[in-house]
Chains A and B, each alone.
Chain A
């Protein structure tokens, strides 16, 4: 229903199939490819202009870039040596000092280094799990919206079942049953968080498919695959994108939760794992705040950054949401 309401307005960003006629290029007639490229570039520019107006979104994006930069450069700045317990440089649980800005853990390892090193895993798991979740959700949403009938009924009942299941409990069960590895965590988060995406995407698919041009495409001989991939997918893509950014933050939180509950891979340093290590070392009751606070703040900041970005994207794509913000 939202798509219909916004059709014709300038906010149907990225929706190639429904691009309104005001954007064709001026000047000499370029080839169709160049035309498309130009149109896309204009769309991106317009999107960015819109996005820029959301100050929180810009802040989120900046924070995110910083985190990604830190994570990507971790092999250069700290290196995998930071994980080594046998060559740990400090004494156990040293408080922050000039040498160790965030103190040390119970093995005498530098916590700042571990924090940077752990950000890679947290971000990676967050991204992969969100990608998996959104892929499943989009696939089920589009097919259920397209085929309708008994297939849609069955799919949506499955979706409902997953929707009412407590996500964390299901993820814990999965992570317990399967072997302990990063892949397991990604899988556990991915297969438990897709139902909302599926529901959203199905609604949007239904809205898109009720438009006249889909009927035209069908009349011209467009098959199921053509309609789903060429017409529906591009139209639900913005929604999927916004959903992805939002799910990443919950996936990072879920990863931290699972790792904190001791279900992660104990050999891998992640933020949730650091919190779990801190708890096991008894640093909660002994007041070693430097062990507990930084990973927690890191998780909160990254989740916040992704949420801010997601909200901003959502607001840009759906101006009716934007008003209230």
Chain B
């Protein structure tokens, strides 16, 4: 309030000046309030805009670098992949490729590329583009950053004709119909010098051939996409799709209530309280679907690199399988589902969520680590970790056991489950230290943790989430970053992994995948506690219908494919935006009035306070 000196001077001049000042302040407040209340008004008048509130920022818009869910979802929308997954039941359907077949020796795959897909600049998307994309990933380390694992087994990729792509393999590979690699236009990407540094976010619109065109991007603010009217599968019903970044989930939910956004996905999902309150709301539909994520407790198996160097400082007692089993047997998974997720999750069993029934594994009765605290205590006694007079369990070094549990500060569920673990394991005589960090990557990669909260989204083809537990995924040296999740390296598991990758018969492959999960379950390094639901909400007065995946009960955000946004149908009339802008105006006027009154009061108080100083 540096202006208050000016007010004090001379009584006669104050009155008109005060009015002018207040009027301008009020006008500014009005302008400000209405400006923030109706940002969507900037789009063209009759354009149907679908705004999605996201909590994740974009890591890169280059298909060769992006790994985050939001970025890869955007690539699903802007580039075609060879194949896609059916929204009904996840079976493989044509994408850029219309047909595919493997040679009798299982080593050569031939794809027929469609001829009705065009890049934004009018050029035809051909097999040459696909061949260039794969070859680039095979030869350029920078291009292999995100999806390199798909091509490690490729021997040669060629395009004999614009409609034919031939991939020769070193070993049989079952994931050839699930190559989740965006195919980029060769004539555009050839000009890029260093793919490891190019983020594809300077030149808009970005040349692609997906159902949407990437037209604008502002880091940590929004990503704007326009419908591709010439898309071969048919144009999307919405004209524009905007992913708007909301750091705070409550703010995103409030924006949904106000109608500023049409869809909120939550990070990773809406809290039980939020979904419960949104369910009562008119015009808002809460989609509570079985998720594709698992939520697990990972145990440090002694971090090591491929060259045999051990590093990190995982607790030695956790190398004992009985200890790992005992810890997990003291975890009441049902309570976690009931209390922490409040029913918005399914109790954990095997590694792959039940949403993928062909791969879902349930431990047998005598294998299952059911909740049994007394049995857990007995197991610990048996392993030689006995309690002292204070009831604390002592390690081999005679010190009380205390495990560091790495948790994501950004995920409230981690902290909540941590509170339960503290008490459950406290009964066993084991204390824990919850290390809740914004950035868990550094201690994780360094192997500096005992236990950690872990979770992955599982794709229709489970190869990737299985591959991250093989010895091959370990970092080459302690300084490198491997694809490994938790430094697990087990011979039996690796053998099974190789077998499932070479198995082209779906039923047989599924059986091996289940055996792998059984092995993983017995090892006790990855203890799946729950499969959280995807809880998301959208406005029914802005989105009339939208495809979930799988269609019976499925999620909307982060699908394996572009189905949800491509299929979304705008609600009939355009009167919804009128409603929101009028509430915006009301809020603006109210805010302006409050500011006016506040300034008036402030001014009076100031005048009174400085009354002695004046004249």
Residues on A lying within 8 angstroms of B by beta carbon are: 84-86, 88, 92-93, 106-108, 176, 180, 262, 266-267, 277, 279-288
Contact = CB atoms under 8 A, between A and B. Distances in A.
B530 interface: no
Identify the 8 closest CB pairs spanning chains A and B, nearest first.
A286-B277, A282-B271, A280-B412, A282-B274, A285-B253, A284-B250, A285-B250, A286-B273
Contacts of A176: 438
Contacts of A93: 272-273
Per DSSP, chain A at the interface is loop
B436 A180 contact: yes
Nearest to A83: B419
B252 to A, nearest CB: 8
The residue in A280, A282, A288 that gathers the most chain B C-beta atoms within 10 A of its C-beta is A282
Given A107-B339, A266-B436, A85 B253 contact: no
Interface of B: 249-250, 253-254, 257, 270-274, 276-278, 335, 339, 342, 409, 412, 415-416, 418-420, 422-424, 434-436, 438
A107 B257 contact: no
A282 B249 contact: yes
Contacts of A283: 273
Contacts of A287: 277
B419 to A, nearest CB: 5
18 contacts: A85-B416, A86-B420, A92-B342, A106-B271, A107-B419, A176-B438, A262-B436, A267-B422, A267-B434, A280-B415, A281-B272, A282-B253, A282-B270, A282-B272, A285-B253, A285-B277, A286-B273, A286-B278
Given A86-B423, A262-B409, A282-B270, 10 more contacts: A85-B416, A85-B423, A86-B335, A106-B342, A108-B339, A266-B415, A266-B418, A283-B273, A285-B274, A286-B273
Contacts of B416: 85, 106-107
Contacts of B339: 85, 88, 92, 107-108
A85 to B, nearest CB: 5
A270 B368 CA distance: 39
Contacts of B250: 279, 282, 284-285
Nearest to B612: A324
B384 to A, nearest CB: 27
B267 to A, nearest CB: 11
Contact of A285 (B257, B419, B435): B257
Nearest to A93: B273
A88 to B, nearest CB: 8
Nearest to B256: A285
Contact of B272 (A92, A262, A279): A92
Contacts of B438: 176
Given A282-B250, A285-B277, A86 B424 contact: yes
Contact of B276 (A86, A262, A286): A286
Given A85-B339, A92-B339, A106 B424 contact: no
A267 B257 contact: no
Contacts of A85: 339, 416, 419-420, 423
A267 B599 CA distance: 43
Contacts of B270: 282
Contacts of B277: 285-287
A286 B256 CA distance: 12
B272 A106 contact: yes
B330 to A, nearest CB: 11
B14 to A, nearest CB: 23
Contacts of A281: 271-273, 412
Nearest to B409: A262
A26 B337 CA distance: 77
B273 A106 contact: yes
The residue in A93, A285, A288 that gathers the most chain B C-beta atoms within 10 A of its C-beta is A285
B110 to A, nearest CB: 51
A106 B415 CA distance: 12
Contacts of A84: 423
The residue in B253, B277, B424, B434 that gathers the most chain A C-beta atoms within 10 A of its C-beta is B277
Nearest to B439: A176
Contacts of A86: 335, 420, 423-424
Nearest to B407: A266
Given A86-B335, A107-B416, A285 B276 contact: no
Contacts of B412: 277, 280-281
A285 B415 contact: no
Contacts of B278: 286
Contacts of A285: 249-250, 253-254, 257, 274, 277
Contacts of A108: 339
Contacts of A277: 412
A92 B422 CA distance: 19
Contacts of B436: 180, 262, 266
Contacts of B415: 266, 280
A285 B278 CA distance: 9
The residue in A84, A88, A267, A283 that gathers the most chain B C-beta atoms within 10 A of its C-beta is A267
Nearest to A176: B438
A284 B254 CA distance: 9
B472 to A, nearest CB: 35
A86 B373 CA distance: 13
B453 to A, nearest CB: 13
Nearest to B436: A266
Contacts of B272: 92-93, 106, 281-282
Nearest to A261: B409
A96 to B, nearest CB: 15
A91 to B, nearest CB: 9
A86 B418 CA distance: 12
Nearest to B435: A180
A286 B252 CA distance: 12
A106 B274 CA distance: 12
Nearest to B411: A280
Contact of A266 (B257, B273, B423, B434): B434
B608 to A, nearest CB: 13
A281 B253 CA distance: 13
Nearest to B277: A286
Nearest to A278: B273
B422 to A, nearest CB: 7
Contacts of A266: 415, 418-419, 434, 436
Nearest to A263: B409
A288 B272 CA distance: 12
Contacts of B249: 282, 285
A262 B424 CA distance: 24
A287 B335 CA distance: 25
B112 to A, nearest CB: 49
B79 to A, nearest CB: 35
A262 B437 CA distance: 9
Nearest to A85: B419
B373 to A, nearest CB: 11
A85 B257 CA distance: 32
